[in-house]
Structure 1
Amino acid sequence: MLWILLFICMIGPETGQGETGQEKKCGPETGQGETGQEKKCGLKIGEENQCKNTLNLTNATTSQSSNHYFNPVNYTSDRAIDGNISTCSNTKGIHKSWWRLDLHGVYNISCISIYNIAKDHTDMKNSKIYIGNSLKDNGTSNKEVCTICEITKTDYNTFKPDVPAVGRYIIVTIPDNKPVILCEVNITATVKESPFVLIKKKMMWEDALYYCRDNYEDLASILDEEAQTLAELEAEKADTGFVWLGLHFTCTLQFWFWVDDHSVQFKHWLNDNENKTADCAMSGAMEKSKGHWVVKSDFDKYNFICAK
């Protein structure tokens, strides 16, 4: 009986395999998040077909912590999604280097595939992958979904997070003073339908409120970070510098509320002091460019976001 147990331990637990059968190990010594739970990210047998239909990244944008330059080539972040496996993005080898993909939508992300050529410094071992909707700390405040514990060069290495991965941004970081080098990145994901619609009419706040109630559900309420991101995506298409939300101030009772009767728990004010008090006939609007909330007069005319 003892020799059977020894044999099982020598074999070890089943790990994920990539599209070409390359084993993707992710051990607890390098794959632990804040709670100490292991962040495995390999493909299990039979899951290969789940990662074949990749997104068209034509409209996606990229950024990175720095650009490595070697005359005459500037190794910019977009080289990782240009469809050419021989051209790579490359940061400088500085502390906490990162690469980020903006999908310009909120997606349920099931697979991330990385291809690297066989050159110096292209081993991305111990890199971490984060997915979410926040840009705080260059996106590393989002959920860590995977630590890359092994990568095979000159091949697609496909990783499937074992935890739910939903977000607009995908961030790859590397420890120590190493560069992030990515020759091609593919994503398998499905887009989440937005509950909001931008109305490109310029109206005062009360007129916008009744327009939404007559034609949709209500002016938009933002109750969490995901809703904030989806609203930001609508605001980016606006013709005005701000867009109305269903956020209103009662000067009688001195508090903010959402017009669909939700209390204001999640907040995204430009200035924390701005929302303490306000005059009568004041409501909340969202910046087109950054998505922060600001206080505006009800009589200003802006585009607005309705809840569908």
Structure 2
Amino acid sequence: MTTTTVEASGLGKRFKDTAALDGFDLAAESGTVLGLLGPNGAGKTTTVRILTTLLRFDTGRAAVAGFDVAKDARQVRRRIGLTGQQTAVDDLLTARQNLVLFGKLYRLSKTRARERAGQLLDQFGLGEAADRQAKHFSGGMKRRLDLAASMILAPQVLFLDEPTTGLDPGGRREVWDAVSGLAADGTTVVLTTHYLDEADRLCDRIAVIDHGRNLVDDTPAGLKRRMGADRLEIAATDPADLPALQAIAEQVADGDVAVGAAGVSAAVKDPVAALTAAATAVQERAITVADIGLRRPTLDEAFLDLIGDKENQ
């Protein structure tokens, strides 16, 4: 049976005349990754600050790990970890020294802090670099060390605010693997990100937020399905074959058929059957095509469909 570990209902927060959150709802189940997506100023960081007891809210209610955020803030803080947009590690200390220091700050004994540091170094794949100064780490390694520091007390819930901002593709993959491992071990992760591929890769559910409101809460696949059917695409080698390719597409289509300068595209409900039938028809008519395949709606398309293109904000 699943347990809701993070829950918010009707959250409201105003900064003077600006409503940062306006009746915001949220729920994350134990051992899952919940993504918060939205344009700049949508309310993502405000939500994280409220749920981690760093900011008071005006209306509504919120609970983390079974404790009311407003009434039992101390109990909430004992059960959460937080990794912000900037790493909190000391570049002049080794990885092991950083984690031991964090352990002592969390009031672990010296022996227990060392034990926990060793466990986390192994868990996050930093064992071989344990005694190297953090200043010599790559961006991905440093971020993994930062994640390890937030896990000193093995929190039930880990909040990550844009954890891969500024990392190269290799560093991002390192962090993704670490986050996936945490969720697999039972940690609930609440993640804010601007990267749609990151949300698609990591998140079990995604809450799209804009102007302080939750527009939709669904799985990545569910968000994509909102864009409609998969599409069969046939790229022509010879533009003279476009009428024949259009006729083939119309035979297998379950929706609109679009004809462009380079090929045809058709909405289909049974993508495998449509692709098989179209490929067979192309072969039977001896038409040479540049490409034939299926294209599913992307998370980027679903996101932009919900909030509009705000990349210039």
Query: TM-score by structure 1 length?
Result: 0.25
Higher strand share: 1
Q: Which has the higher helix share?
A: 2
